[in-house]
Amino acid sequence: MSNVVSLGLPRRPALADRQALLLHNFACNRRSPDDVFWLKENAEVLNVLASSGATLSEAALAPYERVYQGLEERLRFFPQYYRFLLSICLDLEDLGIDGDKGASLCQWVAEMGLVEAELSDLQRAEAYRLMARREVKADEEALWNRLHAFVDRSETFALPNKKATYELTHIVFYLSDYGVTNPHLGEQAIASLEYAGLLAFLDQDIDLLAEICVAMRFAGQVPSDIWENWIAQEMGGFVLAPNGNGAGDCYHEYLVTSWWAQLTGRSSFPGIPSAQGLHVRRHTGRKGPLRAMSEYMFHLGPARSRNWAQMRDGMAEAVGSEGVEILSGAEQSSERFSAFFEDFSRAEV
């Protein structure tokens, strides 16, 4: 006779089941497919799953069947959203939905010259990467050269600028085809990623730091254990509530940290989603010392120095006890910290 007593504890659904519940919520419960934010959210969740090699059942993809069948009409009526629509189409097909219309849609986008309406090199790179997935290619050499020049300017990423940093990570995503090919980043571009990671850690920005760690891994680099252990620890703070309204929630942090977790072999998509709705909350973490560091350096005026060893004691006093702990972790996390600080200081040579 067995001595094991069942306590009747709720079992956490397997990963594939949790992913299916997530897709059901994003497809059906949070927003209407006629809402551009539905396109954004669903393009992101499908991209995370497709680029991390998820295996989904036919039932998991079923909520998207109606949208998939109407993609031609949507694309022709809403060409301004062609990148969202192409991304959703291609990822659904790569995840296993029954259909192969992606190639014809990519060809139509090329024939209509929709990429020519983009002012941003980043958006052009995304579009070209999408079309290349179905062998619709263009002469992109000049574009890639400009993007490499952008990521090679490491001093850009030693200053707080989230827009530039998200552009940096996405350029690496596109150059590497989401980890499929070598993005051929030079030492300066690797420094850019590391400087950006230091800022994100100092700001305790889990969303940005997770993206940076993903980009570093796509570039063949191993991010700092200090950064990645912090992300893993913070993932325990997500709460999935059965509320269908996704406005203002933390879904993106939840997706990108789970994406990172899958790439590192860690447990991903924490929590048990409800079939009735999904609102992602996250506990309020510690406040990072980044703002206090910037204010301290600004108010020093001509007295500030590029030399971290000279500035360390004054900075420690300025950021307080909790800030010192984070600042110390940042210093230990990167051999480039002193070089990063030279640019961060904005001091005269």
Q: Looking at the predicted structure, is the pLDDT value of residue 254 above 90?
A: yes
Please say if the pLDDT value at position 13 is more than 80.
no
> For 8-17, 27-36, 178-187, which range has the lowest pLDDT when averaged over its residues?
8-17
Round to whole Å and give the CA distance between 177 and 43: 16
What would the pLDDT profile of 71-123 be if each residue is shown by its tens digit? 999 999 999 999 999 999 999 999 999 999 999 999 999 999 999 999 999 99
CB 286 within 8 A of CB 202: no
Q: What is the dihedral of CA 35, 36, 38, 44, to 10 degrees?
A: 180
Query: What is the enclosing helix (H) or strand (E) of 310?
Result: helix 308-333
pLDDT at 316 over 90: yes
Average pLDDT, the chain: 93
Task: Please answer whether residues 125 and 310 qualify as being in contact, where contact means their C-beta atoms are separated by less than 8 angstroms.
Answer: no
Tokens 């020519």 -> residue: 116
**Is residue 306 scored above 70 in pLDDT?**
yes
DSSP secondary structure, 91-147, as one string: HHHHHT-S---HHHHHHHHHHHTGGGG---HHHHHHHHHHHHTTT-----HHHHHHH
Alpha-carbon torsion angle 342, 295, 226, 182, nearest 10: -60
The pLDDT, as a whole number, for residue 12 is 52
- Helices and strands in the chain, H and E counts: 17, 2
What residues contact residue 295 under an 8 Å CB cut-off, 6+ apart? 318
- The proportion of the chain whose per-residue pLDDT surpasses 90, expressed as a percent, equals 87
pLDDT score of 246: 67
> What confidence score (pLDDT) does residue 223 get?
98
CA dihedral 148, 153, 154, 155 (to 10 degrees): -160
Look at residue 16 in the predicted model and tell me its pLDDT. 85
> Residue 10's pLDDT is what?
42
Q: What is the pLDDT of residue 140?
A: 87
Residue 4 scores a pLDDT above 80:
no
In the prediction, which pLDDT does 55 show?
Answer: 87
Count Cβ atoms within 10 A of the Cβ of residue 291 and give its class: 0-12 exposed, 13-18 middle, 19 or more buried: middle
60, 19 Cβ separation under 8 angstroms: yes
